[in-house]
A and B are shown apart, each in its own frame.
Chain A
Amino acid sequence: MGKLVDEQGRRVDGRGLNEMRPVKIEVGVLKNADGSAYIEHGKNKIIVAVYGPKEVHPRHLALPDRMFIRCRYHMSPFSVQERKSPQPSRREIELSKVIREALEAAIMIEEYPRTALDIFIEVLESDGGSRGASITAASVALANAGIPMRDMVASCAVGKIDGHIVLDLNDQEDKEGEVDLPVAYMPNLNRITLLQMDGKLLHEEFDRALDLAVHGCEQIYGIQRSALQDYYFKQDR
Chain B
Amino acid sequence: MKKRKYVIPGDVVAEGDYSPGPNTYRDGERILATKVGIAEIEDNRVHVVPVKGKYIPRQGDTVVGVIVDYNVLSWTVDINSIFYAYLLAKEVLRKGSLEKMAENKLEVGDAIVARVLAFDLSRDPLLTLRGPGLGRVSDGELVRVSPSSIYRLIDRRERLNKMIEEATGCKLTVGMNGVIVIEGSPEGTSLAIRAIRLVESEDRPDVLTKSIKSMFDMGG
| A114 / chain B contacts, CB cutoff of 8 Å | 83, 121-122
Chain A binder among B28-36, B39-47, B86-94: B28-36
What is the bound-complex CA distance between A197 and B105, given in angstroms?
63
How many of chain B's residues touch chain A, expressed as a range?
A: 20 to 34
| A64 / chain B contacts, CB cutoff of 8 Å | 122
Interface residues of B in 126-156 (CB under 8 A from A): none
Contact across chains for B36 and A53 when beta carbons are under 8 A apart:
no
How many of chain A's residues touch chain B, expressed as a range?
A: 35 or more
| B10 / chain A contacts, CB cutoff of 8 Å | 149-152, 186-189
From B9, B51, B52, name the one whose CB has the most chain A CB atoms within 10 angstroms: B9
What is the bound-complex CA distance between A108 and B27, given in angstroms?
14
Given A145-B52, A146-B54: A152 in contact with B8 (beta carbons within 8 A):
yes
What is the bound-complex CA distance between A225 and B11, given in angstroms?
10
What is the bound-complex CA distance between A113 and B120, given in angstroms?
10
Contact with B along A142-159 (1 / 0, CB 8 A): 011111111110000000
What is the bound-complex CA distance between A151 and B35, given in angstroms?
9
What is the bound-complex CA distance between A32 and B52, given in angstroms?
15
> Which among A34, A187, A232, A237 is the interface contact of B51 at CB below 8 angstroms?
A232
Q: Is the interface of B mostly helix, strand, loop or mixed?
A: loop
| A146 / chain B contacts, CB cutoff of 8 Å | 35-36, 50-54
A172 interface residue, CB < 8 Å from B? no
What is the bound-complex CA distance between A187 and B122, given in angstroms?
33
What is the bound-complex CA distance between A52 and B34, given in angstroms?
16
From A144, A148, A150, name the one whose CB has the most chain B CB atoms within 10 angstroms: A148
Contact across chains for B122 and A228 when beta carbons are under 8 A apart:
no
What is the bound-complex CA distance between A35 and B25, given in angstroms?
22
Closest 6 A/B residue pairs (Cβ)? A151-B10, A146-B53, A148-B34, A149-B9, A188-B10, A146-B52
CB closest residue in chain B, given A225: B8
Contact across chains for A148 and B35 when beta carbons are under 8 A apart:
yes
| B202 / chain A contacts, CB cutoff of 8 Å | 236
> Which among B25, B53, B84, B122 is the interface contact of A113 at CB below 8 angstroms?
B122
Of the A-B pairs whose beta carbons lie under 8 Å apart in the complex, a sample of 26, sorted by A's number, is A34-B54, A53-B82, A55-B82, A55-B83, A64-B122, A108-B25, A108-B34, A112-B82, A112-B121, A144-B36, A145-B52, A146-B35, A148-B34, A149-B34, A150-B9, A150-B10, A150-B25, A150-B27, A151-B10, A152-B10, A186-B10, A188-B32, A228-B8, A232-B6, A232-B51, A233-B6
